[in-house]
Structure 1
Amino acid sequence: MSVVDLSSVNAFIPGQVELDPHEARMVEQRTRLLGPAYRLMYQKPLHFVRGEGVWLYDADGRRYLDTYNNVVSLGHCHPDVVEAITRQVATLCTNTRYLHETILKLAEGLLSTVQSDLSHMMLTCSGSEANDLAYRIAKVRTGGTGVIITETAYHGITDAVSQFSPTLGTAVPLGAHVRTVAAPAAYRSGPNVAERFTRDVEAAIADLKRHGIQPAMLIVDSIFTSDGILSEEPGFLKGAVEAIRKAGGIFVADEVQPGFGRTGSHMWGFQRHGVDPDIVTLGKPMGNGQPIAGLLTRHDVVEKFGNNSRYFNTFAGNAVSCAAAAAVLKVIRRDRIMDNARDVGAYLLERVSALRSRHDCLGHVRGAGLFVAADIVSDRETQANDRARTTRVVNAMRDNGVLISACGKDHNILKIRPPLIFSRENVDLFVDVLDEALAV
């Protein structure tokens, strides 16, 4: 039986398009061998065989501009990362129960990018695991279980974390200990975002307590990626952070998507808001494709958990993954990657914004660094979301060799998130293809 994914505007739905015989066989094999839970992207799925820099190449040698991939944030097959992985895997691969210097080098490098009271690094294999570990620590630290998130948040896929990842859809229920608050979108709700967001978090805290649930943590992706990339008015998080701490909980900054220099102005998204998290969770771009993630935290936050709970993860912190992550940090600093994200990102935002004069379907455009969002609407005055048109735009761009996706509550927001090595020439190609797709 075919599985239809209604949660994504760019999902492959079997039977809607004709596939060539080889593609059809691969799709059949996936269904038979991998089961029904996996999904393919785009109405006509893609079969890639090679990647280099900002490009992905299919089996026929056609190249596609990758304007969506945050995993390989330094670009596909970055030579420094490839060399670091190759050298380490040919030498030694051990876990954290043996001494090795690479993990110490990585910890020193990461901790040097944040405020001094964040003094410990703990490693996992994925961002989901990092947020799961953060929740475990939060429960021990606070004695509570309550979690506050935004209404379309995504924080991971473990059993515990999926219960506070509403973007997974209604088939994955939220936990009874979870409360959602409206996403802080100034362009929709008007000014006073800080006041409104603080008030909503305070109301969520009160509702948890009214039901006998002690708040454990407020966790947000600091650029609110799944809520629609809400990059405006930095600083509005301060009141909400104060509120959760006053209630006995902690603040967790999920930096899986906005971290590692993507916003251009700061290494981490939370730094744009002038707040000091109790825990910072890391993931996706940390190893440029090599599985490594983790968290940074204060000693007092993790002390009780560390003294009473043995934390061990067979693969997390292995020498090969640590070598990859150390190489990523080296390249970010050496090649001034944040400067490129800032400068090219500003050019990308300017050029996408300029398309509004040509296309009435293009609503609000916003961004920070190489993270840009554009609403697709049926009425610019009412800001009525147009999910169907978004589907057409995403797939038209795919057909013309540019990869993109969508996010937001109604899946009508173009999610533009290219590798951090993106150039102005890449931007020009992207905008030309977007211009054509918006006319579809």
Structure 2
Amino acid sequence: TMSEAYSKAETLALRRKHIGPSCKVFFAKDPLKIVRAQGQYMFDENGEKYLDCINNVAHVGHSHPDVIKAAVKQMELLNTNSRFLHDNLVQYAKRLTDTMPEKLSVCYFVNSGSEANDLALRLARHFSGHQDVITLDNAYHGHVTSLIDISPYKFNQLGKESKKEFVHVAPSPDTYRGKYREDHLDPAGAYAGEVKKIIEETQKNGRKIAAFIAESMQSCGGQVIPPAGYFQQVAEYVHEAGGVFIADEVQVGFGRVGKHFWAFQLQGEDFVPDIVTMGKPIGNGHPMSCVVTTREIAEAFGASGLEYFNTFGGNPVSCAIGLAVLDVIEKEDLQGNATQVGNYLIELLNEQKRKHPLVGDIRGVGLFVGVDLVKDIQKRTPATAEALHLVYKLKERHILLSADGPHRNILKFKPPMSFTQEDAKFVVDQIDALLTGTHPPPKRHHPCPPGHHPPKKQHPPP
């Protein structure tokens, strides 16, 4: 019961004693203790309600009744491994692959995004017979050893020596901060050309490319949306080199982008990755994940004679939960909601950009949005301290938002898909109030006529 619960101080003390010191909490100065959550809201031990703008795991909303019901019902019947036949497994595999291009038809079920990406690397290396991997700068693909090796977001913190010789880092296709910017005539081609250069260099050194791996949109890298056409061109170069293209959808899949079910589909219909990995939102908080690939790659892996067995992967309970999540996305039209609320949020944030010089760039699609804060609008100097300050101030106003990217200056929105227009307006109003209060506006580069502000948009009917 609640009366026997630890005080926040006791919880913290026990955590310090028994939990590894590298396991950090949000808001280290004053961490939150959350005891329950519902939809897009979380509640602390005093019953205070917080709006959750960052939890992309609780994809269809925290504690969704349909997901819980499906889990309990299946748990009462059976939970076992996939060496026994079970309808949930095949039914879910069919439902999932129905959302993808036709040639992506074979599934391996595992338990986390990290496990999915680790298996994807094995599949790619086995199929190509090669070893080397091209990854994007600032990428994060998971916490197991094989993935720390290909996650510059992590290994760069360990110093120059930490990059393995089989890993090659291509520039992040960021048209706001990157090498080729929004004024470039063909940023997609230019960024893809960088990958081509890496491949040529690598081959000169007698090495061979097994895979190019990229998040369909970089999340930890700073909410980066690659220019359309980039993946197609990269895939061409990688295939020529005998490698495969892995699209990591762990953060961005399952309709978050609104108009498509998968974020890689933003690149256009002619782009089909060879392997797609997914995790986080797939089970709404239940640990499950999946690798989907082509028949050809799966058969090459099978021909190795090595059985692939994963104790919990694809168990009946996980699959029941997975099916329930797909049902809810459909039944509640969460893709439609992501588009409508996402567009509204971006519109409100663009208003902030016109008003506050600290807001340098707004980029996003659906309910995946980044706000790049800058100290200087021309130089695009990252406003790291300001971002942190804002995140703490928003927490005081009961809004959970986080800052990320290589400079930790990008506010990132990836809320549960049940996020509403009211929620969007509430958050942006609070950001506006804080920006108006905390920073005396520096001299503008583009002065508005005195007293002139863009008219406030009327709140559209939901």
Q: TM-score range by the shorter chain?
A: over 0.9
> Are 1:177 and 2:166 matched, yes or no?
yes
1:141 aligns with one of 122, 127, 138: 127
1:161 aligns with one of 147, 163, 168: 147
1:196 aligns with one of 190, 194, 197: 190
Give SS of 2:157's match: coil
> Are 1:229 and 2:216 matched, yes or no?
no
Give SS of 2:198's match: helix
> Are 1:390 and 2:377 matched, yes or no?
no
| Structure 2 Cα separation of the partners of residues 174 and 23 of structure 1 | 40
> Are 1:410 and 2:407 matched, yes or no?
yes
Match of 1:118 in 2: 104
Q: Which amino acid aligns with 1:52?
A: Q
2:56 aligns with one of 50, 70, 75: 70
Task: Calculate the TM-score normalised by the size of structure 1.
Answer: 0.93
Q: Which amino acid aligns with 2:108?
A: M
Match of 1:87 in 2: 73
Distance 1:174-1:326 versus aligned 2 partners, 3 A rule: farther
User: Can you give the 5+ residue segments of structure 2 that lack an aligned partner in the other structure?
Assistant: 1-5, 439-462
Please list the CA deviations of residues 68-96 of structure 1 after superposition, one character each: whole Å capped at 9, or x if unmatched.
00101111001110110111111110111
Contact 1:263 1:369 in 2 (8 A): yes
Distance 1:232-1:277 versus aligned 2 partners, 3 A rule: closer
In the TM superposition, what are the counterparts of 1:201-350 in structure 2 within 5 Å?
201-231=195-225, 233-274=227-268, 275-308=271-304, 309-350=306-347
Contact 2:107 2:291 in 1 (8 A): yes
CA displacement at 1:116 relative to structure 2: 1.0
| Structure 2 Cα separation of the partners of residues 204 and 407 of structure 1 | 27
CA displacement at 1:26 relative to structure 2: 2.1
Contact 2:173 2:226 in 1 (8 A): no
Q: CA RMSD in A?
A: 1.4
> Are 1:354 and 2:351 matched, yes or no?
yes
Contact 2:250 2:279 in 1 (8 A): yes
Q: Which amino acid aligns with 2:164?
A: G
CA displacement at 1:232 relative to structure 2: 5.9
Match of 2:460 in 1: none
Identity %: 37
Contact 1:165 1:174 in 2 (8 A): no
Give SS of 2:35's match: strand
| Structure 2 Cα separation of the partners of residues 357 and 139 of structure 1 | 48
Contact 1:232 1:366 in 2 (8 A): no
Contact 1:162 1:174 in 2 (8 A): no
Give SS of 1:252's match: strand
Q: Which amino acid aligns with 1:151?
A: D
User: Can you give the 5+ residue segments of structure 1 that lack an aligned partner in the other structure?
Assistant: 1-20
| Structure 2 Cα separation of the partners of residues 421 and 389 of structure 1 | 29
Give SS of 1:90's match: helix
Q: Which amino acid aligns with 1:236?
A: Y
Task: Calculate the TM-score normalised by the size of structure 2.
Answer: 0.89
Higher alpha-carbon deviation: 341-350 or 219-228:
219-228
CA displacement at 1:314 relative to structure 2: 0.6
Please list the CA deviations of residues 130-156 of structure 1 after superposition, one character each: whole Å capped at 9, or x if unmatched.
000000011110011111111100000
> Are 1:426 and 2:423 matched, yes or no?
yes
Contact 2:173 2:225 in 1 (8 A): no
| Structure 2 Cα separation of the partners of residues 86 and 175 of structure 1 | 45
